[in-house]
Structure 1
């Protein structure tokens, strides 16, 4: 006897036909999962898994606290990584803005400590950034700075004080620390459950995580960050300056 297809796949197939058949307009909100579950005679978890299949295919999108929508075509915007370290945390696209939340006295994890060349458990300043475009979160970032560098100064908290909203480079310069290099290590990844929820994507969607570390003129790491960039939204480009041949 052939193996029966899981219920969520059967519902996904039916939903796909309804979507492609034009039952909903682009950007329109689908009925609630409870209503769909009732109409299909299944539990809401089955409908959720079915919708996640179509979200992964790019037909639907989930919006935290709002529901599931027919995804309109989203052009991939260029996200240019250049020699200009002043770009972050400036908005990577016109009309967008960063929101942030900072915590001090956070013990450095082993990975963060290795990137900052400090001891695990040593205090760092941890800032979480959310980039909003058209009132939706479309990019995330986590930043860590050794507290020993900024403790007791006006620039300890990136989101507060006289240097509010300024870049790492500018804030460190105010302390006489000259940031001269940025090391970046991009890698493909799947989002964590929290990241997927914030970005309105599923755990099956692709993101690029850019591990970036700023170094001063002595080679000391002064900040390290993870930039989480959804693949469907951003096309990462690197601009590399070249010296003219003599």
Structure 2
């Protein structure tokens, strides 16, 4: 078998020392130079990579200008992806957080008439550059960020209606299914494609995690009863803060 990369070996050593309670939550780790000596004389760059890995896994946390610390245990929230969520009337995220005893809210920013980039246009089945309504969301549980997403809807679908702005007007905050129903469009299903990834600098800032932290990226597209895509979104969920569970309905 190929030899384990040095930074993975060091990460295992640090993980073991934390498990043995040599360091406990809130403790500051020794300097990289000292750890490099303690770990067999490896380079400080190896220590840095090992620490970054453990930070992305939620075991350590970096504090600017202060050092690296053992992270306090954080509860991972259970995020349910389910068709049934759309049928309960209440916004799905708020309903999920309510089950966990938390207050779910979100902040949003909408831009109308944004040209669709090629990947988004392909998912919506429209020509590249067609105008869309783009909305950026930051979802919060008890005021702390747990998920972000960017939603795209064809402007030609909702222009001139009361639902053209997802978070404005009488149907604000009702979600895609409820808003589309208000203009006579029946949404029947969604397709989701989850993939693992690492947080960009911007995503890390919004989510309050370390740059490069493990995340799950979900491409979601809603379809109407005639097969037309009516909305697509890019959702980012930090792996260290949330566990994703899919609920699949079964016909009797």
Q: TM-score range by the shorter chain?
A: 0.7 to 0.9
Q: Deviations over 1:64-111 (max 9, x none)?
A: 9xx987522123222111122527653232312111111111110100
2:85–2:92: 8 Å Cα contact kept in structure 1?
no
CA contact (8 A) 1:89 1:98 kept: no
Aligned residue in 1 for 2:36: none
State whether structure 2 residue 123 is matched by structure 1 residue 110: no
Distance in 1 separating the partners of 2:122 and 2:53:
38
Q: Quick check: 1:209 aligned with 2:209?
A: no
**Pair 1:225–1:214, CA change in 2 (3 A):** same
Counterparts of 1:193 and 1:231, CA distance in 2 = 16
2:56/2:240 contact within 8 Å kept: no
Asked whether 1:239 is paired with 2:247, we answer yes
SS at structure 1 position matched to 2:195? strand
Partner of 2:157: 149
Q: Which runs of 5+ in 1 are unaligned?
A: 31-35, 38-45
Question: 1:142 and 1:169 mapped to 2: Cα distance?
Answer: 17
Give 4+ residue runs of structure 1 displaced > 4 Å after superposition: 46-51, 67-70
Q: Which residue of 2 aligns with 1:121?
A: 129
Q: Does the C-alpha gap of structure 1 residues 243 and 106 become closer, same or farther in structure 2, counting only changes over 3 Å?
A: same
| Structure 2 partner of 1:40 | none
| Residues paired across the two proteins, number | 227
- Residue 138 of structure 1: aligned partner: 146
Calculate the TM-score normalised by the size of structure 1. 0.75
Gaps of 5+ in 2: 1-5, 33-44
Query: Deviations 1:163-219 (Å, cap 9, x if unpaired)?
Result: 111111111111011111111111111122211221122343211111111111110
- The normalised TM-score by structure 2 is 0.74
1:90 paired residue among 89, 93, 112: 93
Please tell me whether the aligned partners of residues 200 and 212 of structure 2 are also in contact (alpha carbons under 8 angstroms). no
Counterpart in the other structure of 1:173: 181
**Partner in structure 1 of residue 3 of structure 2:** none
Query: What SS is found at the alignment partner of 2:164?
Result: coil
